[in-house]
Amino acid sequence: MTPASRDGAARAGAARGSTDGVRTHLPGATYRLQLHRDFDFAAARRVLPYLARLGVTDVYLSPIWTSTPGSTHGYDVTDHAQVNPELGGLKGLKSLSARARELGLGLIVDFVPNHMGIQGGHNPYWEDVLEHGQASRYAHFFDISWHPLKRALDGRVLLPVLGDQYGRVLERRELRLERRGGAFRLRYWERHLPLSPRSVGQLLAWTAEALPAATDTVTLGELASIRRSVDTLPRSTSADLTDTDRMIRAQEVQVMTRRLGALLEDSGAVRGALDATLDAVNADPARLDRVISEQNYRLAFWKVAAEEINYRRFFDINDLAALRMEDPRVFAWAHGTLFDLLRQGLVQGVRLDHTDGLFDPAGYFQALQEGAAHALGRDGTGREVGDELPLYVVAEKILEPGETLPEAWAIHGTTGYDFLAQLSGTFVDGANEEELSAIYRRFSGDRLSYGEHLYRGKHLIQRVSLPGEVNVLTEHLERLAETDLNARDFTLSTLRAAIREVIATFPVYRTYIRADGQREPGDDAKIAHAIRDAKAHNRRDGLTLDPSVFDYLHAVLTLNAPDGRTRAAYADFALKFQQLTGPVTAKGAEDTAFYRYARLLSLNEVGGDPALFGTPVATFHEAAQARAARWPHAMLAGSTHDTKRGEDTRARIGVLSELPQTWSAYLSRWSPLIRSLETDLELGRAPTTLDGYVLLQNTLGAYPLDGRTEDFADRLSAYMLKAAREAKLRTSWAAPDEEYEAALDALVRGLLTNDDFMTSLTELHGRISPHGAQNGLSAALVRLTAPGVPDTYQGSEGWNQSLVDPDNRRPVDYGALNRTLGRLERGQGTLALARKLLDTFEDGSVKVLVTWAALQARAAHPELFRDGTYRPLDGGRHVLAFARELGTQRAVTVAPRLTFTLTRERTPWATGAAWGTRQLTLPAGTYTNLLTGERLRARGGKTPLAKVLEDFPLALLLRE
């Protein structure tokens, strides 16, 4: 298959189906469901009729593969080859797919190519590696450094699972050998780890010594034979075994285990001697240590993981081990079941998780499309797939402002975080940046810019969370430097410091240089930018590194080598380097700096840049036009399982940008109360004023519109605990400060039970909640009508005032939503209904109306919203408006913004006279407002907004 062309015409062609007669399934609008054992395939099946009536074309499922038992998210996959039994297994998926097909719905599944869950002995592939080491059939699955600098880890995997130092754990008898039949495990509380065959041989030798002298010769002979079979196995440190050798070794171990089990069942003498041996070893720390030392893993205190871990992880999570998906064998194994599901027509598209963690994302995307082509029968037509990608694929990719998606990638776009950030920013009043910044500095005491927080956060992550990964990379670079006469004198510490500095100043998540030297346009410039900034920081901070070390690293990262062999070695390092910059940036930004810099929290969102105070409407239009031309099938997100706040929480917080003086006045009223609830601790007052500022914004943003506050204190306290730990200033996940966290909880509950605070909070809430709701409605309408594939996160057709996970995975009341939809269907398209829903906006029905009406429009006019051009319309600073046009078809979106400033609190909604003399450039035609049923005639040119939005504060106009 040739690399897919990425011009707009090719994409439009793909949308209409391929020239080989096989149509590529392209969704029109998706709906995300979070699956787990309490909401499985059967539960999803029950909501399909509702989703079909709502108007989506595809249901977008969280990972469906077998994962850690009880997982609430599914990203800790333990077996890509099996559909999760907790969800209903393959049978349940088939039933779900069949019902979806009956209703005209497709299924898009979330796939996790970067890593696997390895917790609790539930991953058979990881368990095999622990048992057999480098001789395992699956040793090549995982990104393990088998020969790190630390000699004690040579040929072993570090397992940082102990709650204390190894020696103390051993002395306390917390580690015990156990057996079940002829199989042995090392138990540490709830963990059960396999034993290497060689260590089993040692146990059998001790058992033979303990047998009674009268043991019969047949029994002795069988035990000796089993021991010899252990001794003749290839060593677990043998990395040069063929796949056949590894398979034979595993089979021999299985035979040995069965033989031993049979012997133990038949011989009470052997059984008694073996169990006595296990008891004796468990009672003797020295002997137990001898057995443990024979394992293919090294047990360690969990706190050493950051420094010494020798397998790549998903971020800094020890229980998520990274896969070597660049290995064709691993790819074939991991995708076999996915391709089977495609072949059977059970799923129609794929969302890819964390592809920036892959060794070669571009190569992976291409391989995925080729595999899909084969599964779908698209590769036997006598032609190459070419422009029409056979499978709908979107990838989770965080784009920094100004960064563009590589156009050669064989995907249909991102999962929509870039769109989310652009859209959310349009509801922030950039004119008030300076004033709101001053308020933030005064109240929180934070004097650092976001850029400085990010720089420090990335350094902190490299030093505290991912130093092991940095060390592996440093050792790799040192080996390269040893072969270069001009670099051999760089010490290990110098190289490590240079790597850390360049990663800390890297301007994007990662670059995409490939093994053959191909790269994306701009990759070299991004590397040069990082090198330049690293040198500047080196001078500023007095790090005293020789500047030439940065020049050397620059040469390696850009593959500027004297010969082909050196260039290949440079490429191997560069690709590994690229795999680390993404996790450091994600952890340094989203999980550190986002929680340390709190100027306006609606901007602290995945895909966003808190330093950018709002998105100008013109900038949004430019991005939408580019998406229509280049990525018309990219997803458009509003809320996801990963967002820091639900879309309507962000929408309300955004209103604060319009009223800095009012916000400042309320802060002044609340400050004495907050101070009275603080506690004196050894490290200072608790909570900090920064945490207080974070708390107040989230309290205001997430305060339930429907007034149901029974669990609000618990939700808010859980959020603040996570926020404080992520900030890593006074407490953290690695070193929790219980006193500080107790003070934080006391502040939350103290505020929410204080009558004066609640009176003023509800007062401010009442003033801004209609404008927050307006922002939420406008954002929903724009998302549902802009170029791309709008995704509705579960329950977000109504108000989504969630906080960060797990708060955003709470159960959805589909019964209530279904009843609301039925009411809308019965009162279809009437102004009276729309006005009634607006009057009772707190229950969220008005947002369901907007969602339903827009999705119905997309369903009735799929070509218009899929292939239509995007035409910005001028309505002044308080409107985001555009037309989608295809031939004679036209749909116009009119979404008000900054309505607190517009209305000046004279009216809660931006309707009628609130618009004064403001006008909208509206193309000539007769339109129907699909939200109200009203008709509107425009002569072309300017149309009064008071007329367009006379009775309802937003419009979706369809030309008749």
> pLDDT per residue over 913-927, tens digit each?
999 999 999 999 999
Structure confidence by residue, pLDDT tens digits, 608-658: 999 999 999 999 999 999 999 999 999 999 999 999 999 999 999 999 999
Helix axes 647-655, 689-702, angle to 10 degrees: 110
How far apart, in whole angstroms, are the C-alpha atoms of residue 643 and residue 802?
9
CATH number, position 401: 3.20.20.80
Q: What is the pLDDT of residues 713-763, one digit of tens each?
A: 999 999 999 999 999 999 999 999 999 999 999 999 999 999 999 999 999
pLDDT score, position 2 = 31
Rounded Cα distance between 439 and 656, Å, is 11
442 pLDDT tier (thresholds 50, 70, 90): very high
| Residue 268 placed within a domain | yes
Q: Domain ends where: 371, 399, 415? A: 415
Q: Do 126 and 110 belong together in one domain?
A: no
Query: Looking at the domain assignment, is residue 472 inside a domain?
Result: yes
Same-domain check for residues 383 and 410: yes
d(CA 697, CA 720): 11
Segments forming the whole domain that contains residue 455: 447-597
Is residue 630 a contact partner of residue 6, using CB atoms and an 8 Å limit? yes
The answer on 456 and 309 residing in a single domain is: no
CA-CA distance, 363 to 367, in Å (whole number)?
Answer: 6
Please check whether residues 544 and 475 belong to one and the same domain.
Answer: yes
Residues 181 and 265 in one domain: yes
Q: Is the dihedral of CA 68, 72, 74, 76 positive or negative?
A: negative
Q: Is the pLDDT of residue 485 over 70?
A: yes
248-295 pLDDT per residue, tens:
999 999 999 999 999 999 999 999 999 999 999 999 999 999 999 999
Structure tokens at 306: 């950051």
Any domain includes 941: no
pLDDT interval class at 387 (50, 70, 90): low
What is the average pLDDT across 818-846? Answer: 93
Q: What is the pLDDT of residue 150?
A: 87
Burial of 21 (0-12, 13-18, 19+ CB in 10 A): exposed
Pairing of strands 955-959, 925-929: antiparallel
Is 62:32 a contact under the CB 8 Å cutoff? yes
- Domain total for the chain? 3
Domain presence at residue 627: no
Q: How many CA atoms lie within 13 A of 265 on its CB side?
A: 10
Region 242-246 average pLDDT: 89
Q: How far is CA 504 from CA 314, 532, 590, in A?
A: 19, 12, 14
Q: What is the pLDDT of residues 567-617, one digit of tens each?
A: 999 999 999 999 999 999 999 999 999 999 999 999 999 999 999 999 999
Residues 106 and 144 in one domain: no
φ/ψ of residue 273, rounded to 5: -65, -40
Q: Does residue 388 surpass a pLDDT of 90?
A: no
The reply to whether 411 falls in a domain is yes
Q: Is-contact 892 953, C-beta < 8 A?
A: no
Final residue of a structural domain among 546, 569, 597: 597
Give the N- to C-terminal CA distance of the chain in Å, as an integer: 44
- Which of 372, 398, 415 finishes a domain? 415
DSSP structure class, residue 463: I
Count CA atoms within 13 Å of residue 345 on its CB side.
7
Pick 84 or 20 by higher pLDDT. Answer: 84
In a shared domain, residues 151 and 170: yes
385 and 239 in one domain? no
pLDDT at 18 exceeding the cut of 50: no
Contacts of 43 (CB under 8 A, 6+ apart): none
Output the pTM of the full model.
0.94
Q: Assess if residue 715 is contained within a domain.
A: no
Q: Are residues 408 and 542 in the same domain?
A: no
Report the chain's mean pLDDT, rounded to a whole number: 94
226 located within any domain: yes
Integer Cα distance of 399 and 514 in angstroms: 19
**For residues 323-328, average pLDDT:** 98
Helix, strand or coil, per DSSP, at residue 115: strand
The order of strands in the sheet holding 925-929 is 869-873, 879-886, 889-896, 955-959, 925-929, 935-938
What is the structure's pLDDT at 386? 45
pLDDT band at 305 (very low <50, low <70, confident <90, very high): confident
Nearest residue to 903 (alpha-carbon basis) of 957, 841, 945, 932: 945
Same domain, 388 and 499: no
DSSP for 601-656 reads: GGG-STT--TTS----HHHHHHHHHHHHHH-TT-EE-S--TT-SS-HHHHHHHHHG
pLDDT band at residue 9 under the 50/70/90 scheme? very low
Residue 956, domain member (yes or no): no
106 and 44 fall within a common domain: yes
pLDDT at 480: 96
Note whether 92 and 331 are within 8 A (CB). Answer: no
Residues 309 and 340 in one domain: no
Q: What is the pLDDT of residues 404-439, one digit of tens each?
A: 999 999 999 999 999 999 999 999 999 999 999 999
Query: What are the structure tokens assigned to 504, written together?
Result: 């800390």
Residue 893 has pLDDT above 90, yes or no: yes
